[in-house]
Amino acid sequence: MTGNNGGTILVVGSVALDEIATPFGRVEEIIGGAGVYFSAAASLFGKVHLVGVVGDDYPLHELEFLEKRGVDLMGLQRASGTSFRWGGVYDYDMNTRETTHTRLGVFADFQPDLPVPSRSAEWVFLGNIDPVLQLHVLDQVIAPKLVACDTMNYWIEGSNEALLEVIGRIDMLTINDEEARQLSGSPNLSRAARWIQERGPRHVVIKKGEHGAILFTDESVFFSPGYPLEEVEDPTGAGDAFAGGLIGRLARAGAADPMELRRAVVYGCALGSFACEAFGPGRLADVSLEEIEARVSAFRHLTYFEEKPEGVT
C-alpha cells in the first residue's frame, strides 16, 4: 500500500459511442469503449482512475453511474471534435462479429497524460490503444504492484516493435485466443502463452469468449469456463469487463499470489458474463456485489467433481 492510493486502480482506454447489432436487437450511440467497461466492472471492487478522451458530443451524464461508484474522471479529457465511435454486427451464435465502422475522432490525437493522483495507482490496466501511448503511460506510473495490458490484431500487425517493448515492461498480458496465436506465430495456446511469457509478462491470460479464460503463470495453468448464460444479449465489452473484474479483485485482495490470481480470473469471468446480459454497460451499472458472489459460487459448482462443495445440495 502506497500512501493514500493503496489499492487504487488506473485504466487508460477508449471512451466510445457504439452502434451494436445482434440477433436480439440494435442500439446506436450507446456509451462503450474499453475504459468504460473496465471501470464499470473494476469500480465494484476499488477506487478507479479513468484516463481517456471524449469529444464535445459525449453524453457525460451517462457516466454518472461511474462517478457514484467513486471512479475519478479527472483524467477523462474533453476535446473539441467528435467522440470515438465503433460499430459491430454479431453473428447468430454471438461468437463472431464484424466491425462495421471505427471513427477515431478526438481519439486520433489522444495523449494519455496522467493526473498526479492516478500516477501512484498500484494496479494498472493499459486498454487496447496504440502501444506507443501505452509506453507513454508506463513512463508516468510510479511503482505499480501490477501492470496488465490488452492489445489487438491491429497493433500486432502494425506496431509490432512498440508492442513488444510494452510486453517487455508489463506483468500481465490479457489477450484473446486468436490474437495470442497471431502474436506468437503458434497455433497452440500453451506454446503461445509461453512465447509471450518469455518476452516479459509473468502472467498471460488468454480470453476465449464463451469458452472462458486460461491463466498461465510461472507455476501453473488455470482454466475458468465461461458462465453458461441462457440469454446473451450483447457480448460487447465482455473482455474489458473481464479485465475490470480481474484487476478489481486483485486490488481488493491486495496481492497477486497464485491463488488470488486464479480467483481473480473467476471474478473476471463473472463480470464478463454480466456484461453480456444487456446492451452496453447497463448490467454492470446495476449488478450488486451479492450477485457477483453468487455467480462466483456458481463457477465453483460448475467445475467441481470431487465432493459436494459447501452450498451444493
The contact set with its own copies (CB under 8 A) reads 23, 92-94, 181, 187-191, 194, 208, 210-212, 214, 220-225, 228-232, 259, 262-263, 265-266, 300-309, 312
67/223 with CB nearer its own copies: 223
- Report how far residue 22's alpha carbon sits from residue 179's, in angstroms, rounded to the nearest whole number: 23
By the 8 A CB rule, do 256 and 285 touch? no
- Report how far residue 90's alpha carbon sits from residue 289's, in angstroms, rounded to the nearest whole number: 29
For the CB of residue 221, give the shortest distance to its own copies in the complex, in Å. 5
The three-state secondary structure class of 285 is: helix
Q: Identify the CA nearest to 45 among candidates 7, 80, 82.
A: 7
> Which residue(s) pair with 215 in the sheet?
205, 222
30/270 with CB nearer its own copies: 270
Cell of 160: 509490432
Residue count of the chain, please give it: 313
- Report how far residue 238's alpha carbon sits from residue 244's, in angstroms, rounded to the nearest whole number: 10
152/229 with CB nearer its own copies: 229
116/305 with CB nearer its own copies: 305
For the CB of residue 44, give the shortest distance to its own copies in the complex, in Å. 19
Cα 189 from chain centre: 20
For the CB of residue 136, give the shortest distance to its own copies in the complex, in Å. 34
Angstrom CA distances, 135 to 44, 165, 243, stand at: 27, 8, 19
For the CB of residue 264, give the shortest distance to its own copies in the complex, in Å. 9
For the CB of residue 167, give the shortest distance to its own copies in the complex, in Å. 21
169/208 with CB nearer its own copies: 208
